[in-house]
Amino acid sequence: MATTGHLERMLKRAFMEPGTRPRFLKKLLASNAFVFIQHPEGETPTVWNSQTVAWIRYDGAEVIPLFTSEEALSKAPMPGSSAYSVNVQSLLEANPNTHCHVNPGSTYDMQFSADDLTRALASVAQAGGSTRLMPGAAENAAIAKNHHLLTSKLMTCLAGISQVEKAYLLEADLSQLLTRPLRIAILASEDCRIAETISGAIEGAYKSKLPAEVRVFLKGSPEHLSMKAAGTAPFYDREWGPRLLTLEKDTPSQ
What pLDDT does residue 107 have?
A: 95
Say whether pLDDT at 245 is over 70.
no
Share of the chain above pLDDT 90, in %: 25
Instruction: Please say if the pLDDT value at position 251 is more than 50.
Output: no
**pLDDT confidence of residue 147:** 59
With the CA atoms of 163, 139, 233 and 81 taken in that order, what torsion angle do they form, in degrees rounded to the nearest 10? -70
Mean pLDDT of 232-254: 57
Mean pLDDT comparison of 140-144, 162-166, 179-183, highest-scoring range? 162-166
Instruction: Give the lowest-confidence range in 18-22, 53-57, 148-152, 234-238.
Output: 148-152
Structural domains of the chain, ranges and CATH numbers in brackets: 4-133+242-246 (no CATH), 137-232 (3.30.300.30)
Number of H helices, E strands in the chain: 9, 12
Q: What is the pLDDT of residue 248?
A: 44
**What letters, b where the CB count within 10 A reaches 16 and e where it falls short, cover 17-54?**
eeeebeebbbbbbebbbbbbbebeeeeebbbbbbebbb
Answer with the residue of higher pLDDT: 186 or 172: 186
CA of residue 178 relative to chain centroid, distance: 25
pLDDT for 141 equals: 52
**Region 113-141 average pLDDT:** 69
DSSP string, 135-171: TTHHHHHHHHHHSHHHHHHHHHHHHT-TTEEEEEE--
- 232 or 124: which carries more pLDDT confidence? 124
Q: Which residue has the higher pLDDT, 22 or 181?
A: 22
Does the structure show a pLDDT above 50 at 133?
no
Average pLDDT on 190-198 reads: 76
- Of 111, 202, 224, the C-alpha closest to 158 is 202
Q: What is the pLDDT of residue 99?
A: 94
